[in-house]
Structure formats: structure tokens, C-alpha cells
Amino acid sequence: KSAMFPLHIWLPDAMEGPTPVSALIHAATMVVAGVYLVARMFPLYIGYAPDVLHWVAYIGAFTALYAAVVACVQSDIKRVLAFSTISQIGFMLVALGVCTSSDPHTGGLGYMASMFHLFTHAMFKALLFLCAGCIIHAVHSNEMSAMGGMRKYMPVTHITFLVACLAIAGIWPLSGFFSKDEILTACFAFSPLMGWVMTGIAGLTAFYMFRLYYGIFWGKENKELHAHHTPHAAPATMTVPLVVLAVITCVAGFIPFGDFISSDGEAYTIHLDGGVVAISLTVAIAAIALATWMYLRAKQPVADRLATTFSGLHKAAYHRFYIDEAYQFVTHRIIFGCISRPIAWFDRHVVDGFMNLLARTTQSAALGIRFMQSGSVQRYCIWFFAGTLGLTLLLLILR
């Protein structure tokens, strides 16, 4: 399955299914199968097509940016998480794409960082989706407008969701910090421009995740909706997995992942780059602070004013920059209307018509000679002798 632009449109729509299934496919290899495929074929890329590997990085960076921008304005909480996954897969592919050789000190860092982030992302993204399932179970809606102030109703979900948000934002000492920091280090080693671009996208990640966090657990409570249905805490069958995943998210970053996975099979010792750490943490904290300033309060004048000022951009991002509409136009108007419909007409009228003509001709011939099969032995003898005579005359004439 590909989640890269422009083949990403299936992923947000796949979130219509049950939330535990969403958590599973985002944590397992279904969504990240493309990342695993590139990693599995890494020796071929390095040995025979390194330029193609770099194009993987460019496409991954664009996809990460596109998905992060779209996630900043979505109101369906599962759709925000779906575009977050697309963006994080972009990070993983960028890490693989910036590999310049199989040497551990140049290319091996990106390879290890990509697989490390695939591993840590599975933990906190599964946690985010299961938290979303608890929230949807409590309010019977996916929309943030039906939420707000949920922290007092769902304390366990609130804390575990916050842990996952801090992890994906890249805050020390949670697992997302270690894997994402290694990706940014590999990007800066490849190109300062790529490093700064991915750092900015990481900042967007922190921003839209805390926009989601404040919109669900803080912000303005929908008292009218809650008057008809009071939100309630999820049962232990739903919260225990959250706690387990939250604990794993807190400690998974300390696993010496390079000892188990590397580009050449040799152990790779992880060394944090102090400069990259300072930059990434500063950007993440600034993005969280910006989201706090804009979305913590019940009223959000800054966010509303920005949405009004940049209404065209906001509307385009909310509609995912009309990529889905473009697919609908191409498939329904061009492929179905201009190509499939003429082919269907040709199939119904020419191909089927020809086969029907053969059938009618055969049926007419059968009706024409059915009188020969009368069951009379005498008549069979007459036809036999007539046929023999006819064949004899034909042979004489041809001779």
C-alpha cells in the first residue's frame, strides 16, 4: 500500500472503519508497507539507482509537508490522525532517501533512523487511535465541535493522549524524540535545506497535534450536546491498552535500536547531535506554545481571524487541496465518460451484437433443418442416399 502523494487518498477514507482496525493498520505494516519495501530493496537502490533514492526523499518531503498542512485544519479527529500518519511515513521515506552510501557514517544513519521511527511511530500512533476510539465512544461523534473539556470526563484517556502528542511532537525523553531526531540529523547531513525543511514540518506536526489535543480536552465544551448525552470514561477493557502503549511510548526511545537494525548488518551506535537536538526541541516547543496560545482558550479569536484572512487557503486545505475531487473528475468524467462508456457501447452493440447474430443464424439454420430429424428410418435412408449422390456428383464435377 502506498501512502505517498498522489496515491494517498485511500488512507483517510479507510478511517471510516472501526477505530481498533485503524490503530492496527497504522501500527502494523499495511500502511508502512511502502517504507518496508524501499528498506528491503535498499542495497539495490544504493548500488544501482542512488539518484532514484534521492527522488524518494523529495517526494517524501513534499508528502510530509502536504499532509501536515491538511492536518492543521481538519475537524474529524480520525482524519487528523490519518494525515498525520501520511506525514510521518513521509519522514520515514525521507530518511531512507537521504542515504548517500551504505557506509554507516553516511547512509546508515538514515536507514536506521527510518526503521527506528517506523517502530516508535507504531506505538504512539496506535495509542492515538485507541484514544480517539475512547473519545468517539464517549461522545458518539468524530467532530471536534462535539468535544471540548473532555479532560474532566476521561482522565486516563487525557493523560495517555497527551503522552502520545508529546511523543509525536518530538519532546524528550519520549520515543518520538529519539527516532525523529535521528531523521533530522540524517537530513542535515544530506543537505542543510532538507534538514531545515523537515525541521519545519516537524514543527507543523507538533502544532496540529496540540491543536487536536486542546480541541478535544480543553477549549469550549459543547454543553448543549453533552446535556443530551453526558460523556463518560471508557471501561478498563479500553483504557488498559492505552496505559500499556503509553508506557512503551515513554521507554521505547532508550532501546539501542542501531544494535538490531542497520544498513549493513553491523551494529550502529546512536549518537545524538547536540545542535540538531537544540534546533528540533526549540521548534517543537515553539510550535506547542503557538498551538497553546491559539487553541487553549474557549474562544479562539486568532485561529478564527487567520481562517477568515486566509479563507481561500483554509478552504483548500480543508478540502485536501481538492486532490480527491481531481481524482473524481479524472475517473468519472474522463476515464468513465470518455473512455469506459464508448468501450461499453462497443462491447454491448458490436461484440455482443456479433455473438447474438451468430446465435440467431445458428438457431435459424437449426429450425430450417429440423424436419430432417423426423425419426423415420425410410426418410433417413432417402437423405443418406441423397447425400451420397450429391457427394458423388460433386467429386465428378471437381475431377
Contact call for residues 121 and 64 (beta carbons, < 8 A)? no
**3-class SS of residue 105:** coil
Task: Give the pLDDT score at 164.
Answer: 92
Cis peptide bond N-terminal to 235, omega within 30: no
Task: Give the pLDDT score at 377.
Answer: 78
Please list the pLDDT of the chain residue by residue as tens digits (399 residues).
Answer: 456 677 777 777 767 677 777 777 767 666 777 888 888 888 888 778 778 888 888 998 999 999 999 988 888 888 888 888 888 888 988 988 888 654 444 557 888 888 888 889 888 888 998 988 888 888 888 888 788 788 888 889 899 999 999 999 989 889 889 889 989 988 888 888 998 999 999 999 999 999 999 888 887 776 666 656 677 777 888 889 899 999 999 998 888 887 788 777 777 777 788 888 899 999 999 999 998 888 887 677 777 788 888 888 878 888 777 787 788 788 877 888 788 888 888 888 899 989 999 999 998 888 877 777 777 777 778 888 888 998 888 888 887
* Cα–Cα distance, 318 to 189 (Å, whole number): 34
DSSP calls for 138-159: HHS-SBGGG-SSGGGT-HHHHH
Residues of the chain by 3-state class (helix, strand, coil), percent to 5? 75, 0, 20
Angle of helix 77-97 relative to helix 192-217, nearest 10 degrees, comes to 160
How far CA 4 is from CA of 58, 86, 324, 362, in Å, comes to 11, 7, 14, 55
How far CA 61 is from CA of 64, 73, 89, 98, 354, in Å, comes to 5, 20, 10, 11, 54
Burial of 323: CB neighbours in 10 Å, binned 0-12, 13-18, 19+: middle
pTM of the model: 0.79
* Cα–Cα distance, 174 to 312 (Å, whole number): 37
Length of the chain: 399
Contact call for residues 108 and 89 (beta carbons, < 8 A)? no
Task: Give the pLDDT score at 107.
Answer: 58
Task: Give the pLDDT score at 52.
Answer: 84
